[in-house]
Structure 1
Amino acid sequence: MLLDTLTLRVALAVVDVTLLLLFYFITYRRTRSAYSGWWSSALLLFFVGNAAYLLDGTVYQVWANPFGNVALVGGAASVWAGARSLRAPVPKAWQLAVGPAITAVASVLDNPATNIWSGGPAYLFFMGALIGLGCRELLVLDRDYSRVHRVLALSAGVLSLFYIGRVIAFLADGPEGPVFLAVFGSVPTTLLSTLLLVMASFAMTDLSHEQQTQDLRARATVDGLTGLLNRTAFVSLAEDELRRLKWTRTSSSLILADLDHFKSINDEFGHAAGDTALQAFAAACTSVVRSTDLVGRYGGEEFIILLPGVTPETASGIAADISRRMMMDKSGVIPRLPTVSYGIAAVPAGRVDLQELVTSADEALYRAKSLGRNRSVLATSLEDKSA
């Protein structure tokens, strides 16, 4: 038994609204991510567009058919915006509106009261182009970005190529031509769209949960105020790095930094000023140290830095650079930024006891404070201590 177009469109509309409700309430309400929101918008517009086509052949076709074209092209634009949001800001509103606007004009001017393919070339072209742009955004993501974004790219790519084939067949063969009806007509399009929508929705759900897990993991390792590693994450990564350095017999340096008279900043200017000072120091660290160095907020106004392959003397210069960079920060929240004291411990080749290194750097930091602050002091060598 052959299914007629009306039955398939009803089935597709049911699938659309079912996926929309499941995705919105199970995924989007939990993650609130941009791409989940755009995919929910796409599903809603696909449902509205397919539902509008159910009015073809009635007196309402004059507005329902153009409206369906515009809604479906808007859904394709949402697919592009959602894919784009995974790596960059979404397209501007006017960029998203170009396809639907041109489709609307072409559909209204093409006798929609009697022509169910009014605006067909514009509608088919923008469906293929916008979904193709979504496919491109997914393909340029790093291969390791997720487990499923390649599946989404494949689904979008297949659907984009199919619509490009549709517009070519439409122009060459006509909407009533045998090639168009057999390969690119409403029946095969509805079947393919249903299959790909289901695949894409499950993949999007998996991607949303994956990104939520990554976000939770990031929150567990990053200090929320400064964006640096938190203490637990720093200790874990530093211990791993010290074990690696042990095998390569590479010496390094550990810096313990403390903002001078930090309590007076809070007392005099308020906690917002104190937060600004912490963020200024974190920004200075990030701009000075290498991407291979480890920087963390150790607690309160105390920070810790591991510099692999750096001598204590060079580390002292890095500390001075951080202080200079911090003082260049101009903020309207705080009239003056605090100075910083540093304790620097050499990490002998082959040593992996992080706590011993922190203790040594802390002793040097205490001496820097007692000598008047706003300076760095080198700790006594651990090798000298053990001699």
Structure 2
Amino acid sequence: MLDLVTLRIAFGLVALSVLVLVYGVTFRTTRSAYSGWWCVSIGCFILSATLFLFDGTALQVVGNPAGNMMGVLGAGCVWASARSLRAVPVPRWQLAAVPAVVAVASALGDPTVDSWSGGAAFLTGMALLIGRSTLELVLLLRQTDVGVDSPAQNRFALVAMAVVSSLLGAYYLARATAFVTVGPQHPVFQNAFGGQVTTLLTMILLVVATFGMSALAADQQIAELRRRATRDSLTGLLNRAEFYREGQVILDRGRFGTDAALVLADLDRFKDINDDAGHAAGDDALTAFADACREVIGPRGIVGRLGGDEFVILTVHGTAEDLTATIAHRYAEADGTPTVSFGIASVLPGDDVALGLARADHALYRAKAAGRAQAIRHDDRPAFLVGGRRTA
């Protein structure tokens, strides 16, 4: 077998080649968070391998703790890249905590003469973070439907990444166990988990794992473009076209009760806010109302912004009267917000969204004409209280 120094140099050259390709071809094309984190992780692994080359020299006292820290940080970035595929924020303190603990443990040992100083912490940290990467990939696989959320070939790449991650995590867990039980000088550890075996295995797994990079990064970019195409840029709610599409799908499926309704909401005298306080204040009022809708409706329906100060809601669980009253109350808690008028139209399975909104618009017009700050149904049900204000 090749000596450890030669293998580490070879690993560094392979990793550097992969980094150049991933950055130049994938990251610069997609700008995806996934490929960005992956580039950082490869850079950390290259730096770690370089620092370990100082083992057996006077610089080992610095190279050993720093190499351990950078290796674990690279594993943390692998976890962050997997987490980004689920569009879940990465807790930066968690990303920094494990490498910091490993660096302290390595420095408190005897890195001057012991090249395995802090080895238990290093190997445990690697197993922990790579294991968390596997968990993120498994969670993503469970929530991804082939042909709906991702093409079949992208799912294959995702499965390959999960398998590679699980194998590497299991290897580091076994390596940490052997380190603690028999020690790094034992023949079992040297033959099965020594530096040569680990470097060679990591090199192979790096190449295998990277093959799915382009597909997954492109998939992430497509998902982001889809989000931008279907969401209102200011509020994050569904835009007009997407609300019509999703709303019609819900109505066609007909999986809701008799309380389902389409609701049009309009902020009263919104123009006065823009004229008197400026457009920034108007944007604040719009986002505050969107937040109130999102918080109250939740899984009980969908919410969109039609444009300007006009919003639309499709409720499938819970009465529209109760939901709109709660929305108005939550919205009134924000400072300087205007009152809101609502128009409600009942819907049945198979109804047309456009026709339902036309009825809701007629009811909204009546609510405005009756003095605003109230809600009226198209079917002439009595008006009701909205946010503590009694209708006329």
**TM-score exceeds 0.5:** yes
1:231 is matched with which residue?
A: 240
TM-score (norm 2): 0.81
Q: How does 1:173-252 map to 2 (within 5 A)?
A: 173-245=182-254, 252=260
Q: Cα offset for 1:12?
A: 0.9
Name the SS of the counterpart of 2:306 in structure 1. strand
- The CA distance in 2 between the partners of 1:174 and 1:323, in whole Å, is 66
Does the C-alpha gap of structure 1 residues 188 and 369 become closer, same or farther in structure 2, counting only changes over 3 Å? same
Task: Report the identity percentage.
Answer: 44
Q: Does the CA-based 8 Å contact 1:53-1:68 persist in structure 2?
A: yes
Matched, 1:323 2:328: yes
- The CA distance in 2 between the partners of 1:172 and 1:350, in whole Å, is 65
Does the C-alpha gap of structure 1 residues 19 and 178 become closer, same or farther in structure 2, counting only changes over 3 Å? same
Name the SS of the counterpart of 1:303 in structure 2. strand
1:267 is matched with which residue?
A: 275
Unaligned runs of 5+ in 2: 145-149, 381-392
Q: How does 1:70-219 map to 2 (within 5 A)?
A: 70-83=69-82, 86=86, 87-92=88-93, 93-106=96-109, 109-112=110-113, 116-141=115-140, 143-145=142-144, 147=155, 148-219=157-228
Q: How does 1:284-295 map to 2 (within 5 A)?
A: 284-295=292-303
Structure 1 counterpart of 2:50, one-letter code:
A
- Describe the superposition over 1:161-190 as per-residue Cα deviations: whole angstroms up to 9, x where unpaired: 222333444455554543233222233212
Q: Cα offset for 1:329?
A: 1.8
Does the C-alpha gap of structure 1 residues 139 and 252 become closer, same or farther in structure 2, counting only changes over 3 Å? closer
Q: Does the CA-based 8 Å contact 2:48-2:68 persist in structure 1?
A: yes
Does the C-alpha gap of structure 1 residues 221 and 11 become closer, same or farther in structure 2, counting only changes over 3 Å? same
Which is worse superposed, 80-89 or 92-101?
80-89
2:386 is matched with which residue?
A: none
Q: Cα offset for 1:43?
A: 0.9
- Describe the superposition over 1:348-387 as per-residue Cα deviations: whole angstroms up to 9, x where unpaired: x455232222222222222222222222232258xxxxxx
Structure 2 counterpart of 1:277, one-letter code:
A
- The CA distance in 2 between the partners of 1:289 and 1:69, in whole Å, is 48
Does the C-alpha gap of structure 1 residues 171 and 321 become closer, same or farther in structure 2, counting only changes over 3 Å? closer
Name the SS of the counterpart of 1:7 in structure 2. helix
Does the C-alpha gap of structure 1 residues 140 and 346 become closer, same or farther in structure 2, counting only changes over 3 Å? closer
- The CA distance in 1 between the partners of 2:128 and 2:365, in whole Å, is 64
- Describe the superposition over 1:266-324 as per-residue Cα deviations: whole angstroms up to 9, x where unpaired: 111111111111122222222333513122111211111222366xxx43443333222
Q: Cα offset for 1:135?
A: 3.3
1:384 is matched with which residue?
A: none
Name the SS of the counterpart of 2:373 in structure 1. coil
1:256 is matched with which residue?
A: 264
Matched, 1:6 2:5: yes
Unaligned runs of 5+ in 1: 331-335, 382-387
Q: Does the CA-based 8 Å contact 2:141-2:159 persist in structure 1?
A: no
Name the SS of the counterpart of 2:211 in structure 1. helix
